């Protein structure tokens, strides 16, 4: 069928940013003098694998209020190293490690706590530190170590018997294997604390192509394409959400349920484009995300993308928007991953002549977040790939949208550039969603025009060149480690 006319696609390039701080990164610290701690407790839990681990450290202040803190501990083994940390700045000398607060988490009232973490490496053995100090005072109030536990003050049994250790998967779908996702360092990690990559497809605008997202087409995406992810692109303007908030919210929730039923993750995309300033839609975003987060909080398959492609605005404006919207989500769904758009049509600023340094130097003040990067392979090549590779060692990135064609969403498939991009994303374990799982009359569409008016979606006979290329890439076996 002929799609409803709509504005052409936009300039997209880019890369994402940071919820993680690299070892030794320069961060603004409080100007006030750190005050003494008179009592503290620490929970130190890890998810280990051969040669590496992710550590989560919860610091509880049991004494007088503290303004500015330094946590100290020593690794028991000389081969243990901090490689990259978040929510604090880290220094290591020999086996001794210090972690200093950031500006947003430096004040700990009596009974207050904060959680920090880092990725590390080890050779020989990976025993847990047993002694911690807070501003020079030894923490004796219930310090515990072990594997991740939902009850930080309770010592954790060995992983083989611990109820906090996720059990083996009971199914073979992406959600059954990986469970609730979280950000660890610069990676997207599964319930076992192991870095993973999700691969999937993005819908087109629900206002134009709702007929493409039925049970048969989503069965094909899950079973024939073997996709891990459905990105639900809900335009805000362009005959989208602003015209019928309740109706579009219900559409999104229905697709979340359909993805969940098929074991796929659902990426809820608040698809802002024009105007490019996300604060234009701040009140709408708060209303929408409060609703969908409350409704879907118990689900393990939901990821939130809070601004599709900011453009024409500064990083500080985008950051300010994110720091107002994320708490709305966290109030109802504290565990889900949130993805923040970046400057220059989510290009990490590259399309505006910038780069990811602005995000590294001024990250969003929130945990469990990732940063967006978009590209169109025929338009965005080596310069963009080089920036993604550079940024990926410092920021958790998620390619929530990309195309095999030009930034307009149309034109011929650039197979060579698309292959180079996906090889890079695979190597870096950066998740992605392709634009688009639709039958739009444009080169980026996966289906031939008219496909969504019929009932056949599986196989290659209904696919465009772009669709065939993506299906072949997505349906190769996933690597979802569970130990």
For Cα atoms 213, 217, 219, give the angle at the middle one, nearest 5 degrees.
120
Q: What tokens appear for 355 in the block?
A: 């780069």
**Tens of pLDDT, residues 270-304:** 999 999 999 999 999 999 999 999 999 999 999 99
Strand partners, 182: 189
Residue 9's pLDDT band (boundaries 50, 70, 90)?
A: very low
- Which helix (H) or strand (E) element contains residue 403? strand 397-403
Question: Over 80: is that where the pLDDT of 467 sits?
Answer: yes
pLDDT digits (tens, 9 = 90+) for 348-376: 999 999 999 999 999 999 999 999 999 99
Q: Convert the pLDDT of each residue in 318-327 to its tens digit.
A: 999 999 999 9
Q: What is the CATH number of the domain that holds 457?
A: 3.20.20.80
What percent of the chain is predicted at pLDDT more than 70?
A: 87
DSSP label of 279:
G
Confidence at 155, pLDDT banded by 50, 70, 90: very low
* pLDDT bucket at 473, cuts 50 / 70 / 90: very high
User: Locate tokens 């059990």: which residue?
Assistant: 167
Q: In this predicted structure, what is the pLDDT of residue 48?
A: 75
Say yes or no: 267 and 366 in one domain: yes
Q: How far apart are CA 37 and CA 66, in angstroms?
A: 6
* Domain termination residue (choose one: 126, 146, 166): 146
Task: State the CATH number of the domain containing residue 118.
Answer: 2.60.40.290
Is residue 188 exposed (0-12), middle (13-18) or buried (19+ Cβ within 10 Å)?
buried
Indicate if 129 and 205 belong to the same structural domain.
no
In a domain, 289, yes or no: yes
Are 272 and 361 found together in one domain? yes
- Is there a domain that residue 175 lies in? no
The confidence score (pLDDT) of residue 145 equals 55
Supply the range of the domain harboring residue 108.
Answer: 40-146
Has residue 462 been placed in a domain? Answer: yes
| 119 plus 247 within the same structural domain | no
Q: Choose between 14 and 433: higher pLDDT.
A: 433
- Does one domain contain both 138 and 226? no
Considering 358, 387, 401, 442, which one is annotated as catalytic?
A: 401
In this prediction, residue 144 carries a pLDDT of 54
Q: Ramachandran region of residue 258, left (φ > 0), alpha (ψ -120 to 50) or beta?
A: alpha
pLDDT band at 39 (very low <50, low <70, confident <90, very high): confident
Judge whether 108 lies within some domain. Answer: yes
307's tokens: 């601004």
Whether residue 123 sits in one domain with residue 221:
no
128 and 195 in a single domain? The answer is no
The H or E element containing residue 40 is: strand 40-49
pLDDT, tens only, 228-242: 999 999 999 999 999
**Distance separating the N- and C-terminal Cα atoms of the chain:** 47
Is 177 inside a domain boundary? Answer: no
In a domain, 32, yes or no: no
Task: Encode pLDDT of 88-99 as tens digits.
Answer: 889 999 999 999
> 150 pLDDT exceeds 50?
no
pLDDT of residue 404: 98
The answer to whether 173 and 263 have CB atoms below 8 angstroms apart is yes
Select from 146, 166, 201 the last residue of a domain.
Answer: 146
Q: Which of 93-107, 310-324, 443-457 has the lowest mean pLDDT?
A: 93-107
Cα separation values, 464 from 57, 369, 448, 459, 470, Å: 49, 34, 5, 11, 10
Structural tokens at position 159? 């992983």
If DSSP codes are grouped into helix, strand and coil, which group holds residue 471? helix
Query: Which residues lie across from 121 on neighbouring strands?
Result: 52, 81
Q: Give percent above pLDDT 90 in the chain.
A: 71
SS3 265: strand
The two three-digit tokens of residue 302, written as one number: 């939901």
| Same domain assignment for residues 137 and 194 | no
Shared domain check, 311 and 197: yes
The two three-digit tokens of residue 466, written as one number: 């772009």
Q: Is position 465 within any domain?
A: yes
Residue 276, beta-bridge partner list: none
Task: Give the pLDDT score at 31.
Answer: 36
Confidence of residue 160 (pLDDT cuts 50, 70, 90): very low
Q: Which residues are CB-neighbours of 227 under 8 A, at least 6 positions away?
A: 199, 200, 201, 221, 264, 474, 475
Shared domain check, 192 and 137: no
Give yes or no for residue 170 having a pLDDT over 70: yes
pLDDT over 60 (residue 161): no
pLDDT average, residue stretch 404-421: 97
What's the domain count of the chain? 2
> Of 48-52, 100-104, 411-415, 435-439, which range is least confident?
48-52
Per-residue confidence (pLDDT) for residue 45, from 0 to 100: 87
Last residue of a domain, one of 146, 175, 203: 146
Tokens encoding 195: 């870095």
Residues 240, 206: contact at Cβ < 8 Å? yes
| Pairwise CA distance, residues 37 & 61, whole Å | 7
> Does 309 qualify as catalytic in the annotation?
yes
Contact 303, 337 (CB under 8 A): yes
Mean pLDDT over 317-339 rounds to 96
Of the candidates 260, 305, 309, 358, the residue annotated as catalytic is 309
Q: Is residue 95 located within the same domain as residue 226?
A: no
17 part of a folded domain: no
Of 113, 192, 109, which is closest to residue 148 (Cα–Cα)? Answer: 192
- DSSP secondary-structure letter at 461? T
Is residue 301 located within the same domain as residue 378?
yes
Give the integer Cα–Cα distance in Å for 372 and 392: 11
| DSSP H or E run through 257 | helix 245-261
């Amino acid at each position: 069928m002929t799609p409803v006319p709509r504005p052409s696609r936009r300039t997209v390039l880019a890369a994402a940013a940071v919820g993680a701080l690299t070892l030794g990164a320069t961060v603004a610290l409080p100007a006030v003098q750190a005050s003494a701690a008179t009592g503290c407790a620490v929970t130190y839990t890890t998810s280990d694998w051969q040669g590496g681990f992710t550590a989560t450290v919860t610091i509880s202040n049991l004494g007088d209020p503290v303004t500015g803190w330094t946590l100290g501990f020593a690794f028991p083994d000389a081969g243990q190293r901090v490689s990259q940390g978040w929510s604090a700045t880290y220094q290591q000398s020999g086996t001794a490690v210090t972690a200093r607060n950031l500006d947003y988490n430096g004040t700990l009232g009596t009974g207050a706590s904060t959680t920090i973490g880092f990725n590390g490496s080890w050779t020989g053995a990976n025993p847990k530190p047993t002694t911690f100090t807070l501003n020079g005072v030894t923490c004796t109030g219930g310090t515990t170590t072990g594997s991740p536990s939902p009850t930080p003050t309770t010592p954790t049994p060995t992983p083989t018997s611990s109820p906090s250790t996720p059990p083996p998967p009971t199914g073979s779908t992406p959600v059954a294997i990986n469970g609730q996702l979280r950000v660890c360092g610069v990676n997207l990690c599964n319930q076992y604390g192991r870095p993973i990559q999700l691969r999937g497809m993005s819908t087109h605008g629900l206002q134009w192509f709702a007929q493409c997202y039925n049970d048969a087409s989503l069965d094909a995406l899950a079973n024939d394409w073997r996709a891990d992810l459905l990105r639900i692109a809900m335009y805000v303007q362009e005959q989208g959400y602003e015209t019928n908030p309740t109706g579009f919210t219900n559409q999104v929730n229905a697709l979340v349920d359909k993805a969940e039923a098929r074991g796929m993750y659902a990426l809820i995309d608040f698809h802002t484009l024009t105007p490019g300033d996300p604060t234009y839609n701040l009140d709408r975003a708060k209303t929408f995300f409060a609703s969908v987060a409350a409704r879907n909080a118990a689900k393990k398959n939901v990821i939130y993308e809070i601004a599709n492609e900011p453009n024409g605005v500064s990083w500080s404006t985008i950051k300010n928007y994110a720091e107002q919207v994320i708490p709305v989500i966290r109030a109802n769904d504290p565990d889900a991953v949130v993805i923040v758009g970046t400057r220059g049509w989510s290009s990490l600023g590259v399309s505006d002549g910038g780069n990811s340094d602005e995000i590294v130097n001024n990250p969003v003040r929130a945990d469990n977040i990732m940063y967006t990067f978009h590209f169109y392979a025929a338009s965005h090549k080596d310069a963009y790939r080089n920036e993604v590779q550079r940024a990926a060692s410092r920021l958790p990135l998620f390619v929530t949208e990309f195309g095999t064609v030009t930034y307009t969403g149309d034109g011929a498939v650039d197979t060579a550039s698309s292959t180079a991009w996906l090889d890079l994303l695979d190597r870096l374990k950066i998740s992605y969603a392709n634009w688009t799982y639709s039958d739009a009359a444009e080169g980026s569409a996966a289906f031939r025009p008219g496909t969504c008016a019929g009932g056949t979606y599986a196989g290659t006979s209904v696919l465009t060149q772009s669709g065939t290329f993506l299906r072949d890439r997505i349906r190769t076996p996933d690597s979802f480690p569970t130990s």
